[in-house]
């Protein structure tokens, strides 16, 4: 399978010629719902203006649309400190296929919730995958940093990384991110493919795992060969078709060999 594209989009509403409502938090707004499946809900959830509280901060969520385009075109999240002062305004452009509202979840397991904004949902090789933004503030910081991801799920890898898991029925793309003070650094992408499948039971018998060169590998002092050896043996990779035999397909030539 081809690697999922990670799209880079403009997120500043002003740069797109759009404007969102301004003003203080409206106490009449309902509390934001907290769906269990933020990124890949079975049924698309509505986008509703709301209020939320997380990690000592207050959030006002406002969606922007026009009558002739009923789907939200953008969302504005105003972040306030306990005293009501605005500390950050987060703007995201949305596509009509956005599967659900803004949500909060501790996706990296550090004890603090991240702000998750589902942007769009599209089919990749027959399977729905969501493009979404993760806004992270480590420790007690009030300012959030943005990282865009694509997949069907996002969770801790089990060895200090954050993983977005996406792809199709017969292959998975695992993208490993290193949590930092600036959000997340993309380290490596693995493609795990089913090579042999039992025709009767559809059980996957053998799988291959390949790493893709990424600029973030310098952050962990690895080349792509070391990354393939390390990350293909990680808990997150081992959890994909765990009973299948791991095989090596088309070994890459190594310089000097």
Write the pLDDT tens digit of every residue in 161-174. 999 999 988 999 99
Write the pLDDT tens digit of every residue in 187-240. 999 999 999 999 999 999 999 999 999 999 999 999 999 999 999 999 999 999
Q: What is the CATH topology of the domain spanning 1-152?
A: Lipocalin (2.40.128)
Write the pLDDT tens digit of every residue in 116-138. 999 999 988 788 999 999 999 99
Q: Answer whether 0.75 is exceeded by the pTM.
A: yes
Cα dist. 40→44, 64, 118, 119 in Å? 9, 22, 9, 12
* Start and end residues for every CATH 2.40.128 domain found in the chain: 1-152
Q: What is the DSSP string of 145-170?
A: EEEEEEESEEEE-SSS-EEEEEEETT
Write the pLDDT tens digit of every residue in 67-94. 777 778 899 999 999 999 999 999 999 9
pLDDT at 9: 40
9 vs 33, residue with greater confidence: 33
For residue 1, pLDDT beyond 50: no
């Amino acid at each position: 399978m081809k690697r999922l594209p990670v799209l880079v989009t403009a997120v500043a509403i002003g740069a797109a010629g759009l404007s969102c409502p301004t003003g203080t938090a409206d106490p009449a707004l309902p509390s934001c719902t907290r769906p269990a499946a933020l990124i890949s809900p079975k049924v698309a959830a509505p986008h509703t203006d709301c209020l939320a509280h997380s990690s000592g901060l207050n959030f006002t969520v406002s969606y922007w649309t026009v009558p002739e385009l009923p789907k939200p075109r953008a969302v504005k999240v105003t972040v306030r400190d306990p005293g009501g002062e605005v500390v950050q305004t987060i703007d995201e452009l949305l596509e009509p296929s956005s599967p659900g509202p803004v949500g909060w979840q501790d996706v990296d397991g550090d004890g603090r919730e991240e702000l998750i904004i589902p942007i769009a949902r599209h089919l990749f090789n027959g399977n729905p995958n969501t493009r979404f933004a993760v806004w992270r503030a480590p420790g007690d910081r009030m300012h959030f940093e943005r990282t865009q991801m694509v997949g069907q799920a996002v969770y801790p890898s089990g060895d200090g990384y954050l993983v977005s898991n996406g792809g199709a029925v017969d292959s998975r793309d695992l993208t490993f991110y290193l949590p930092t003070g600036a959000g997340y650094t993309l380290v490596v992408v693995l493609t795990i493919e089913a090579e042999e499948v039992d025709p009767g039971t559809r059980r996957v018998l053998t799988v291959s795992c390949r790493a893709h060169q990424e600029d973030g590998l310098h952050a962990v002092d690895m080349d792509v060969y070391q990354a393939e050896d390390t990350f293909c043996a990680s808990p997150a990779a081992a959890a994909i078709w765990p009973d299948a035999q791991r095989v090596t397909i088309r070994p890459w030539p190594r310089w000097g060999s």
